[in-house]
A and B are shown apart, each in its own frame.
Chain A
Amino acid sequence: MKLLSRLYIALILFFLYAPVAVMIVFSFNSSSSVWVFEGFSTKWYEGLVYDTTMLTALEHTLIVAVLSALISTVLGTAAAVGILAIRKKVASSLVMSMTNIPMMNADIVTGISLMLLFIFMGNLLGLNESLGFITVLAAHITFNLPYVILSVMPKLRQTDANLVDAAMDLGCTPFKAFFKVILPSISTGIATGAIMAFTLSLDDFVISYFTCGKYQTLPIVIYNMTKKSVTPDTYALSTIIFFVVFLLLIFYNMLQSKSEKQASARKGRAK
Chain B
Amino acid sequence: MKRILSVLICFALLAISLCGCGYEYHDLNLRAKYTRAFEGTEITVYNWGEYISDGADGTIDVNREFEKLTGIKVNYLTFESNETMYSQVKNGGVKYDIIIPSDYMIQRLIKENELQKIDTSKLSNYDLIDEQYKSVYFDKKNEYTVPYNVGMVGIIYNPKLVGEVEHSWNVLWDKKYKDKVLNFNNPRDAFMSAQMLLGLDLNSTNLKDWDKAANKLKKGKANLQSYVMDEVYGKMETGEAAIAPYYAGDYLTMVETNPDLKFFYPKEGTNIFIDSICIPKNAKNVEAAMLYIDFLLEPDIATANAEYIGYASPNTAVINNEDYYYYQNEILYPSEENMPKVQYYHDIDDKIRIYYETLWVQVKLY
**Is A213 in contact with B5, judged by CB distance below 8 angstroms?**
no
Q: Which of B22, B55, B229 contacts A49 (CB 8 A)?
A: B22
Within B92-134, the residues touching A (CB, 8 Å) are 92-95
Interface of B is mostly: mixed
Interface pair B5/A251, CB less than 8 Å apart: yes
In the assembled complex, how far is the CB of residue B3 from the closest CB belonging to chain A, in whole angstroms?
6
Given A36-B238, A50-B21, A62-B10, decide whether A228 and B50 contact each other with a Cβ distance below 8 A: yes
Contact with B along A164-205 (1 / 0, CB 8 A): 000000000000000000000000000110110010000000
The answer to whether the Cβ of B17 comes within 8 Å of any Cβ in the partner chain is yes
A40 within 8 A of B: no
Complex Cα spacing A194 to B240, Å? 44
Query: In the complex, which residues of chain A have a beta carbon less than 8 angstroms from the beta carbon of B137?
Result: none
Contact with A along B270-285 (1 / 0, CB 8 A): 0000000000001010
Q: Is B13 an interface residue (CB 8 A)?
A: yes
The 8 A CB mask of B216-247 against A (1 = contact, 0 = none) is: 00000000000001110110011010000000
B80 at interface, CB cutoff 8 A: yes
Does A128 lie at the interface of the complex (its beta carbon under 8 Å from any beta carbon of B)?
A: yes
Task: Let me know if A33 and B238 touch, CB within 8 A.
Answer: yes
In the complex, the answer to whether B231 meets A228 with C-beta atoms within 8 Å is: yes
- Identify which of A4-12, A53-61, A98-106, A154-162 touches chain B: A53-61
Contact A214–B94 (Cβ < 8 Å): yes
Known: A33-B237, A55-B17, A224-B49. A131 touches B2 (CB 8 A): no
CB neighbours (8 Å) of B282 from chain A are 128
- Contact across chains for B93 and A131 when beta carbons are under 8 A apart: yes
Q: Is B80 touching A122 in the complex (CB atoms < 8 A)?
A: no
Min distance, Cβ B227 to any Cβ of chain A, angstroms: 13
Residue interface bits A124-150, CB-to-B below 8 A is 1, else 0 = 000011111000000000000000000
Q: Is the pair A119, B231 in contact by a Cβ cutoff of 8 Å?
A: no
Does B8 lie at the interface of the complex (its beta carbon under 8 Å from any beta carbon of A)? Answer: yes
| Inter-chain contact B5/A227, CB cutoff 8 Å | no
Number of interface residues of A (CB under 8 A): 48
Bound CA span A252–B10, Å: 15
Q: Which residues of B contact A240 (CB under 8 A)?
A: 13, 16
Q: Residues of B contacting A115 with CB < 8 Å?
A: 93
B23 at the interface (CB under 8 A from A): yes
In the complex, which residues 67-101 of chain B have their Cβ closer than 8 Å to any Cβ of chain A? 75-78, 80, 91-95
On whether A252 and B95 interact (CB within 8 A), knowing A49-B20, A66-B10, the answer reads no
B50 partner residues in chain A, CB cutoff 8 A: 228
We find that the number of chain B residues with CB closer than 8 angstroms to chain A is 45
From residue B240, how far is it (CB to closest CB) to chain A in Å?
7
Do the beta carbons of A194 and B94 come within 8 Å of each other? no
Task: Mark interface residues in B1-36 (1 if CB within 8 Å of A CB, else 0).
Answer: 111011111101110110111110000000000000
Q: Which stretch in A15-23, A87-95, A241-249 binds the other chain?
A: A241-249
Instruction: Specify which chain B residues have a CB less than 8 angstroms from the CB of A251 in the assembled complex.
Output: 5
Interface residue A255 (Cβ < 8 Å from any Cβ of B): yes
Question: Is B44 part of the binding interface, using a Cβ–Cβ cutoff of 8 Å?
Answer: yes
Given known contacts A119-B91, A224-B78, A58 and B13 CB-to-CB distance under 8 angstroms: yes
A257 on interface, CB distance cutoff 8 Å: no
Contacts of A241 in B (CB 8 A): 13
A49 surroundings in chain B (CB, below 8 A): 16, 19-22
Q: CB within 8 Å of B: which of A53-89? A: 53, 55, 58-59, 62, 65-66, 69
| Cα–Cα, bound, A216→B91 (Å) | 17
Cβ-neighbour of B9 out of A48, A118, A119, A245 (below 8 A): A245
- CA A53 – CA B77 in complex, angstroms? 9
Supply 27 A–B pairs (Cβ within 8 Å), ascending by A.
A33-B234, A34-B234, A35-B234, A49-B21, A49-B22, A50-B23, A52-B21, A59-B17, A62-B13, A62-B14, A65-B10, A66-B10, A119-B93, A123-B92, A129-B94, A130-B91, A131-B93, A195-B5, A213-B94, A214-B44, A224-B78, A227-B80, A227-B230, A227-B231, A244-B12, A248-B5, A255-B1
Using a CB–CB cutoff of 8 Å, the interface residues on chain A facing chain B are 32-36, 48-50, 52-53, 55, 58-59, 62, 65-66, 69, 115, 118-119, 122-123, 128-132, 191-192, 194-195, 198, 213-214, 216, 224, 227-230, 240-241, 244-245, 248, 251-252, 255
